[in-house]
Amino acid sequence: MRLYVKATSSYKGTLEDIDVKKELKKTYKLDTRRQDRFIHLALWGAMRLKEKCEISSDDELYITSGVGNMDIVQKSNEYVNIQKEILRPFDFINMLGNTTSFYIASALGVKSKNIFQISNSFTFINTLISIYASLSVSKKEAVLGSLDLATQPQSLIKRVLGVSKEVEVLSAVNYQKLSLNADDALAIVEFETQTYSLSEVEILTKESEIKVIFASHNEDYFETRASYYINAAIEAREELMYIDASKGRYKVIRVLKVA
């Protein structure tokens, strides 16, 4: 399966030195009331993508995340279980994944299919497969956003993600504008439904004639890293084989140059 990438936007790092809420209000003139950090991060990446390409009201929108909005879950737990307070209405609304999708669609002017999708594993690749299947029928284009917010304290999200305490968990937001049409494409993203064993992956890497990046839990971590590495390869005009890993199983994504 192949999708053509028409535009990208990327950020990974810590948010302590970036006032995303202020940036959304100042640069993009967006109303940020009743929203939280997770939604702000999603909107920031979306607006940066919009600066680079045309987004149609008929485009499909897909948002995926490693664990979703852990900030609001933690905040709601504090209210209800510790302070014994009633859950605030907007906190409940923001807990729903489709709330984030709604705000992004509104900011981009998208009025077509709008899906917030998280898988237990390989969430980015599974969303690519969903997009390919949908576009094959609709013949439209799609915006894909992948975001992970580093919840504080990091010990909480590290337990959820199953990473060691030595690993730094980062926030990240990465978007691609995707199409089945090759016109004006920056690159090709190639992927498949097949899952590999370690020995099979080792054979693939030995035979590969392009750069290989193997997902590791020993580096700065966020669940949707595949999306970031795709964008980085496109920015560097490199071809890439990215091998994602989950529970001893592996999936492969390739970034290829447009012929």
Asked if the structure places residue 244 within a domain, the reply is: no
Q: Does residue 75 fall inside a structural domain?
A: yes
Q: How many domains does the chain have?
A: 1
Reported confidence tier of residue 228, pLDDT bands at 50, 70, 90: very high
Q: Does 182 reside within a domain? A: yes
Is residue 222 in some structural domain?
A: no
Q: What angle do CA 67, 72, 75 make, to 5 degrees?
A: 125
DSSP H helices, the chain, are 20-28, 37-50, 70-77, 89-95, 97-108, 123-138, 154-161, 198-207, 225-235
Domain membership of residue 103 as a residue range: 2-186
Position 143 pLDDT exceeds 60: yes
User: In this predicted structure, what is the pLDDT of residue 152?
Assistant: 74
pTM listed for this prediction:
0.89
The vertex-62 CA angle with 68 and 77, nearest 5°, equals: 15
Domain-located, residue 198: no
| pLDDT (mean) for 122-127 | 96
Q: Answer whether residue 215 is part of any domain.
A: no
Q: What is the pLDDT of residue 82?
A: 56
Q: What are 15-65's pLDDT values in tens digits?
A: 767 889 999 999 999 988 888 889 999 999 999 999 999 999 999 999 999
pLDDT band at 13 (very low <50, low <70, confident <90, very high): confident
Question: What is the predicted pLDDT for the residue at 46?
Answer: 97
Structure tokens at 218: 């020993």
User: Would 206 be classed as within a structural domain?
Assistant: no
Q: Residue 153's domain is classified under what CATH number? A: 3.40.47.10
| Closest to 255 measured CA to CA, from 156, 142, 178, 171 | 178
